[in-house]
Amino acid sequence: MSADPRRERRQELHGYIAGLCLALILSAIPFAAVMTGALPRAGIVWTIAIAALCQVMVHFRLFLHIDLSRSHRDDLQLILFSLLIVVLMVGGTLWVLGNQRAMMG
Amino acid sequence: MIHFLFGELGYNALPFYSAIATVAASVVVLGAVVVVGSITWLRGWRALWSEWLTSVDHKRIGIMYVVVSFVMLARAVIEACVMRSQQAVAYDSPGFIPPEHFAQLFTTHGTIMIFFMAMPFLIGIYNFAMPLQLGARDVSFPVMNSISLGLTSAGAVLMMISLCLGKFSTGGWTGYPPYTELSFSPGVGVDYWIWALTLSSLGNTMTGINFAVTIYKKRAPGMTLFRMPLFCWTALCISILMIFAMPPLTVATLMLAMDRYLDMHFFTNALGGNMMNYVNMFWLFGHPEVYILILPAFGVYSETIATFSNKRLYGYTSLVWATVSIAVLSFTVWLHHFFTMGQDGSVNAVFGIATMLIAIPTGVKVYDWLLTMFRGRIRLSVPMLYASAFMILFVVGGATGVMLANPGFDYQVHNTLFLVAHFHNMLIPGLLFGMLSAYHYWFPKAFGFRLNEVWGRIIFACWTGGFLLAFMPLYIVGALGMPRRSQEFFEAVYQPYMYVALAGAALVFCALASMAIQLWTSIRNRDSLRVFAGDPWNGRTLEWSIAAPPPEYNFARIPKVDSVDAFYQAKQQRTAWRAPDEYFDIPLPANSPVGFLCCVSGGAFGFALTWHIWWAVVVSALVFFGSIVLRSFNRDTMRIVPSGEVQETEENWLLALSETPPVANEAMFTTANRGLVREPV
């Protein structure tokens, strides 16, 4: 094996290890926030939400290798589209069912 | 012990509770016996196994999908005729079908038509034609394709078994709880419905993934997204819709299953269940599903109108954007299926306006098609007849759709036959006509001979006439207030319309019979209808540039594309049908029994769950997952077609091509058409 692919492989491995560490840290933070109870309730919710978003970014960037480069533009578009649909479905459901609940109350 | 072996299954599951059920079940059993018997008589089992059931060739999988859909179409049309007959005699009289049986009929009719007629039909057509149009040798995941077919067929088989053992659901094709919960529907019917739907929706999700990846990764060199035929664009849009819209259905049916099997309370009346969330989730799937059904027909019409007008498709880019915007908008309107469920007026208004917006891109499409025909050399082929009927009828249906999008109007006619007329008006011209024209259009490509023209026209006349007679009266009685799904009614004024609708149903039955006759005569006279040269309609896209039927590897050399309508341009520049300079070995995916195993074990899994036969549930699940896991250890998944064989096949075809006399445009529908048409001047 020549030097080049080996270096590439090592870089790839570094990327995965960094991803794993970040994923673990980002999982540990919300757990810690809940278990220690150091923050007020709203603070805990926001911490979990932000950690979850960062977690998604880490997975996309380091595990699925999605970035802003030209060759990954298709993947990025698909992810943005998925995001749109998820927002429509989840947001719409919350809106509709919440409204029905309010009408029944 | 007996209970362990057979679960809830017992003698009382047999269909002897009514004469009609007994006859229906006997027809199914007899049909199965005839099929098995004739395959044995023709000694066809080996060929069936090695060339069809284990095949992963996209063309064969597509054809099998269409076969499944034809069988199911026959059953559902007959059910429709039975229901129409009941309603024709149901004025102030119980008629000949008891209410419970009538409810089973409309439930199976709807379930079959959507999930086991429409979906397999359109997936089959895409499977056959899309890779050919893209210049690809197969879809991206051929084995997964065969597993998808297996799961859909398993669902269809479950539907057929439900006719013989036990009673089907009476909850309508939408299966709304709490009626479908255990407390109101204790029998096996809803379980049949749940597992048939779950199996087919899993298969459809995988098909969506497969098609989307194929379109992104397997286009011929030079074919950018904006050089794809419009049919492929609709394929891309519906695959993305399938990927996102099928999971809500799978989740909703599985949650309902958990309510019924595990005593959960997602949708029950008591203990915090919320049945409105089921309706919400069902239509989160259901509305995009409407466009999964209709966009394929738009794609087919875009191909056939351009081909048979001998003109480039007018407004290609606007058609693409209209398709894409319909696909996206389809996720924003699901609430219009339950305007009356109790949300406030402002929510209804938002969804009503979003619904009306969809009429805009659809209108763009209709104008584009009209302008494609404008000053074209129109040949009134069977697909062109369907396209013209579609454009008129679909506009009528669309207009009633815009009426229904107004929540105030919807409050008046919801749950009446007006709605039934509306969605049949969308789905028959907007799905079935499209698929039937695709069937006539691509049949010669698939089998190497054309379908009989005269019978094609008779089928068209029966379908259009039957549709008009059967559904136009329903608009009137619906506006007069006749509820849908009535087994009996008491208003004398509805009665004459019911007779007209029955006449329509009879014509539709004639259409079904004519389809069988057409297939029969076309097969018998196939030698005079042969089009081996492969281009019987003066086609514009890549699938017409190869032999009919196509060789298993599709293209000896992957074509290069530098415009929309690549093949037509090549014909104009006289660069079409060039022999390749050199022939290469072609690797193809090898046959695999995994799809068939998944079909059998998936079907057994659904059946065992339905009847609570727990040992069979475990065994079939093990076989299902085991066959997929074992398959992943098989590294020998490709097969090589040697270059010598490719060369021989291609040279035979090119020789035949050079000896085929091109037929004049006007004689396209005569037996002189051997698969080559002279370009009109």
pLDDT over threshold 80, residue B214: yes
Highest mean pLDDT among A68-77, B467-476, B627-636: B467-476
Same domain membership, residue A57 and residue A40: yes
In angstroms, the separation between the Cα of residue B266 and the nearest Cα of chain A is: 14
Number of domains in chain A: 2
In the structure encoding, which two tokens stand for residue B123, read together? 């997936």
Choice between B165 and A78, residue whose per-residue pLDDT is larger: B165
| C-alpha span between B207 and B598 (Å, rounded) | 15
Class of domain B44-184+191-592+637-667: mainly alpha
pLDDT in tens, B39-86: 999 888 998 888 899 999 999 999 999 999 999 999 999 999 999 999
Tell me if B513 sits within 8 A of B81, measured CB to CB: no
The residue from A50, A65, A80 where one domain ends is A65
Same domain membership, residue A75 and residue A60: no
Report residue B680's pLDDT band, with 50, 70 and 90 as the boundaries: confident
The mean pLDDT of B425-452, rounded to a whole number, is: 94
Same domain membership, residue A14 and residue A48: yes
Report residue A3's pLDDT band, with 50, 70 and 90 as the boundaries: low
Same domain membership, residue A83 and residue A46: no
- Domain spans, chain B: 44-184+191-592+637-667
Q: What pLDDT score does A1 carry?
A: 46
Mean per-residue pLDDT over chain B, rounded: 92
Report residue B16's pLDDT band, with 50, 70 and 90 as the boundaries: confident
Report residue B671's pLDDT band, with 50, 70 and 90 as the boundaries: confident
CA B586 to chain centre: 32
A100 touches B at CB < 8 Å:
yes
pLDDT over threshold 50, residue A19: yes
Q: Residue B176: how many CB atoms within 10 A of its CB?
A: 17
Q: What is the DSSP secondary structure assignment for residue B589, as one 8-state letter?
A: E
Inter-CA distances, B63 with B68, B233, B297, B509, Å: 9, 21, 18, 23
Selection from B564, B587, B584, B568 nearest residue B576 by Cα: B568
| C-alpha span between B506 and B509 (Å, rounded) | 5
Same domain membership, residue A53 and residue A10: yes
pLDDT above 90 covers a percentage of chain B that reads 78
A104 touches B at CB < 8 Å:
yes
Same domain membership, residue A39 and residue A2: yes
In angstroms, the separation between the Cα of residue B248 and the nearest Cα of chain A is: 9
Chain B residues in contact with chain A using a Cβ-Cβ cutoff of 8 Å: 216, 240, 244, 248, 274, 276-277, 280-281, 284, 328, 331-332, 334-335, 341-344, 347
pLDDT over threshold 90, residue B581: no
- The phi and psi torsions of B69 (rounded to 5 degrees) equal -70, -35
| C-alpha span between B334 and B456 (Å, rounded) | 37
Same domain membership, residue A23 and residue A10: yes
Residues 6+ apart with CB under 8 A from A74: B216
Q: What pLDDT score does B270 carry?
A: 83
In angstroms, the separation between the Cα of residue A68 and the nearest Cα of chain B is: 18
Domain that holds residue A91: 70-105
Q: Closest CB to B276: pick one of A81, A85, A100.
A: A100
The mean pLDDT of B594-618, rounded to a whole number, is: 94
In the structure encoding, which two tokens stand for residue B520, read together? 């029969």
pLDDT in tens, B351-362: 999 999 999 999
Residues in chain A within 8 Å Cβ distance of B274: 97
Selection from B586, B591, B583 nearest residue B640 by Cα: B586
Q: A100 and B332 in contact by Cβ < 8 A? A: no
- The phi and psi torsions of B518 (rounded to 5 degrees) equal -60, -45
| C-alpha span between B613 and B609 (Å, rounded) | 6
The DSSP element (H or E) to which B640 belongs, if any, is strand B638-641
pLDDT over threshold 50, residue B382: yes
| C-alpha span between B219 and B235 (Å, rounded) | 13
Q: What pLDDT score does A2 carry?
A: 53
Same domain membership, residue A27 and residue A58: yes
pLDDT in tens, B305-350: 999 999 999 999 999 999 999 999 999 999 999 999 889 999 999 9
pLDDT over threshold 80, residue B681: no
Same domain membership, residue A6 and residue A36: yes
pLDDT in tens, B233-290: 999 999 999 999 999 999 999 999 999 999 999 999 888 888 999 999 999 999 999 9
The residues with which B587 forms a beta bridge, in sequence order, are B640
| C-alpha span between B171 and B176 (Å, rounded) | 7
HEC secondary structure over chain A: CCHHHHHHHHHHHHHHHHHHHHHHHHHHHHHHHHHHCCCCHHHHHHHHHHHHHHHHHHHHHHHCCCCCCHHHHHHHHHHHHHHHHHHHHHHHHHHHHHHHHHHHC
